[in-house]
Amino acid sequence: MKAATLAVPAAWRRAWESGVALGSAIAEGVALARDLGNTPPNQATPEWIARQARGHARRWGAAIRVLAEPELKRRKMGGILAVGGGSANPPRLVRIDLGRRGPVVALVGKGVTFDTGGISIKPAAQMDEMKWDKMGACAVLGILEAASRLDLPVRLRAYLPLAENMPDGAAYRPGDIVRCANGKTVEILNTDAEGRMVLADALTWAASENPDAMVEYSTLTGACVVALGPTGAGLFSPSDGLASGLLDAAGAAGERLWRLPLWPEFLAEMKGSHADLKNSGGRWGGACTAAAFLSQFVGQVGEWAHLDIAG
């Protein structure tokens, strides 16, 4: 690689230094997210991702807590335990607290380190791409990397549910009824609708700590890719203000977000026959019914958004 020397006029120096700091922080965050995401699933297990998070948190000067199976059971986090139950690599739930001033923003990122679909197993074609089903969690860690370098006036709380969805004798099954951390029961119709199950417990924990806003990132549905293709992400939020801010930020960053509806019919579609909810709706509006399912785990937080980044 060749080196380049930049000659900056004295009058521009302060702006140049500020721009370099911002660009470098964002680049480091993007690189971290990509490196974690590209790590193969035989290495990037839930425990491995948790160890990476712990090492980075120490470097950032952030507080971190990692819940293993005994604590997940004590907290009755049945969603993440069900999804991770069929794997030899047990689930983890990571919480990171970064920043000491400003509003509290909770960031929740889906971290399914590999998704076979479980008992409702996926077709073999492109299953290797399911190592990227952890990109919500990786994106959140990338955000923390950038934020730590920029010393932003905001308190970030990150919640990363980490699990591997595998089929074996201990795997959860279609027909099971799972109780999540907020007490709601979920009838399992499809074990490949696993992301919403791990997010249910993480969102419940995040909401219980009363953040000023909550943004969740997940490679949640193929339906969102059908709707928007691989060039944009779906945005769901009941808050016009938060949605507008996210759309503005996406535009400024050269990203594409498209706001999709949270109509009451989508929630009605997710009501269970034998439990409070079911984890899979009908064929139509799959990204919207998944978002409606998640809305049942945000507690009293009005300022929340779900970003379906599957595409």
Neighbours of 19 (CB within 10 A): 11
The CA distance from 282 to 180, in Å, is 22
Helix or strand (DSSP H, E) at 274? none
pLDDT for res 162: 99
Average the pLDDT over 154-165 and give the result: 98
Q: Output the CA angle 79-85-91, nearest 5 degrees.
A: 70
The chain-wide mean pLDDT, for the chain, equals 97
List CB contacts of 279: < 8 A, sequence separation 6 or more: 186, 187, 188, 189, 190, 193, 196, 197, 293
Q: Which of 131, 134, 157, 196 does the annotation list as catalytic?
A: 196
The CA distance from 89 to 47, in Å, is 7
The CA distance from 60 to 151, in Å, is 10
CB crowding 221-233: b at 16 or more within 10 Å, else e: bebbbebbeeebb
The CA distance from 45 to 228, in Å, is 30
Q: Which of 122, 149, 179, 271 does the annotation list as catalytic?
A: 122
Cα radius of gyration rounded to whole Å, the chain:
19
The CA distance from 172 to 14, in Å, is 57
- Confidence at 132, pLDDT banded by 50, 70, 90: very high
pLDDT for res 153: 95
pTM over the 0.75 mark:
yes
Is 122 in the active site?
yes
Report yes or no: 197 and 250 within 8 Å, Cβ to Cβ: no
Q: What pLDDT, in 10s, does the model give residues 79-122?
A: 999 999 999 999 999 999 999 999 999 999 999 999 999 999 99
- Confidence at 186, pLDDT banded by 50, 70, 90: very high
- Confidence at 16, pLDDT banded by 50, 70, 90: confident
Say whether pLDDT at 70 is over 90.
Answer: yes
Helix or strand (DSSP H, E) at 216? strand 213-218
Average the pLDDT over 184-209 and give the result: 98
pLDDT for res 174: 98
Is 196 in the active site?
yes
Torsion of CA 189, 191, 196, 201, to 10 degrees: 100
List CB contacts of 135: < 8 A, sequence separation 6 or more: 33, 37, 110, 217, 219, 309
Length of the chain, please?
Answer: 311
Neighbours of 56 (CB within 10 A): 18
Closest CA to 156 of 297, 62, 58: 62
- Confidence at 8, pLDDT banded by 50, 70, 90: confident
Closest CA to 50 of 32, 68, 63: 68
